[in-house]
Structure 1
Amino acid sequence: MVNLKASQVKLTYVNEVPKKERMKITGPESVYNLLLQEVYDKETIEHHMSVKLILFNRTMHLLGVYHLADGGIHESTLDIRMIFQVALLSNSSGFILARNSPSCGTEPSKEDLAVSKKLQEASRIMRFDYADYLIISPDGYLSLADQLYIIGNSNDSLTIR
């Protein structure tokens, strides 16, 4: 018998919310309302950037919201591999990336557009439904899917501003 020196890998998936009680994602406005009312802290939404991953199943029912990263006033760093690790471990069919705008502007930066392009490329390969990228503020939101923004970036570690 070989004495294997390796760590055990264990994958688990626990969903405690029955499907009939899960919110159905109907578009960017429903996600914006969820984020503003249930996810983002009203006391810090204008203080620093925070990035969230909204996970859903094939029928667009919400599986959960995962906190990906906190940043400063102007930027936050993301690792694209972490996004897909969370999506895979949650057994989701797709996701929406969202970030707040401490300055309350919702115009996308070139880094936002680069992240979106990289997520589109990777999602196509991984067979995930990358549905949207939202930039939110207390006063409104911008949906990159609605605006059809697409550009590229070749980094695995991404920064958004």
Structure 2
Amino acid sequence: MDTLFDSPCRYMSDSELLYEISNNRQIVSDIERSNEVIDLEKLFSSLTPGRRRVAVAAVEIYKRQQSQQVECRQILRSEDIYELMGPLIGDLPNEEFWAISLNQSAKLIKKVRISVGGIDQTSADIRLIMRVLIDTGATQFAAVHNHPSGNIRPSNEDKRLTEQLKKAAGLLNIRMIDHVIITNGGYYSFGDEGLI
């Protein structure tokens, strides 16, 4: 039996891997002919329902694993926040807002999804976020949300929310370390820009 880390898949070409997933030479030929980067959405939509469920589950496990590798170390920089949350929300078709609760040593206590919105906005209730931080025992935190459009620049609403969060958390003696906006291709950090 093949082991997870020493299977023949490691040595297969992209085309051979696509065939392993799809079991359909036509799909592989179409992708090879288009000579484009593999679009997983398109590939998965062409699979049978059973294969699609398995493929989507495998991708989700991979994304969570990428995020979990960051969970056990200190969250000190915007890059750490991006590595923690990018795999989870970077490619979503809708906006999500998360609060990252940290202890005094900058270790992750909990990641909490605050809201799920539409394609270009989500709401974030300051009181709910503060309650999450208090309930988890956070002494510091980061706010994180994604921009499905791919535009990493903060909106005026993003800037206003960041100011409100910083003020509310300050009253509770909880330090806001950053607000990071994540896209599929990168991130924007209020902290790196000197806005925290």
Q: Normalising by the residue count of structure 2, what TM-score does the alignment of the two structures yield?
A: 0.61
- 1:63 has 2:119 as partner: no
Q: Distance in 2 between matches of 1:92 and 1:34?
A: 17
| Higher radius of gyration, 1 or 2 | 2
- Give the letter aligned to residue 117 of structure 2: G
Match of 1:16 in 2: none
Quick check: 2:99–2:141 contact (8 Å CA) kept in 1? yes
Match of 1:32 in 2: 82
The 3-state SS of whatever aligns with 2:105 is: coil
Match of 2:17 in 1: none
Report the alpha carbon displacement of residue 120 of structure 1 after superposing the two structures with TM: 1.4
- Give the letter aligned to residue 40 of structure 1: I
Give the alignment of 1:146-157 within 5 angstroms: 146-149=192-195
Q: Distance in 1 between matches of 2:177 and 2:126?
A: 16
Report the alpha carbon displacement of residue 121 of structure 1 after superposing the two structures with TM: 1.1
Report the alpha carbon displacement of residue 41 of structure 1 after superposing the two structures with TM: 7.1
Match of 1:81 among 119, 123, 127: 127
Give the alignment of 1:99-114 within 5 angstroms: 99-114=145-160
The 3-state SS of whatever aligns with 2:98 is: strand
Number of residue pairs the alignment of both structures matches:
126
Match of 2:48 in 1: none
- Give the letter aligned to residue 36 of structure 1: G
Match of 1:154 in 2: none
What are the ranges of 5 or more consecutive residues in structure 2 without an aligned counterpart? Answer: 1-70
Which protein has the bigger strand share? 1
What are the ranges of 5 or more consecutive residues in structure 1 without an aligned counterpart? Answer: 1-20, 151-161
How has the CA–CA distance of structure 1 residues 29 and 131 changed in structure 2, closer, same or farther, with 3 Å as cutoff? same
Quick check: 1:50–1:70 contact (8 Å CA) kept in 2? yes
The 3-state SS of whatever aligns with 2:191 is: helix
Q: Distance in 2 between matches of 1:58 and 1:128?
A: 10
Which protein has the bigger helix share? 2
Q: Distance in 1 between matches of 2:154 and 2:86?
A: 19
Q: Distance in 2 between matches of 1:54 and 1:117?
A: 17
The 3-state SS of whatever aligns with 2:114 is: strand
- Give the letter aligned to residue 139 of structure 1: G
Q: Distance in 1 between matches of 2:188 and 2:173?
A: 25
Quick check: 2:90–2:183 contact (8 Å CA) kept in 1? no
Q: Normalising by the residue count of structure 1, what TM-score does the alignment of the two structures yield?
A: 0.74
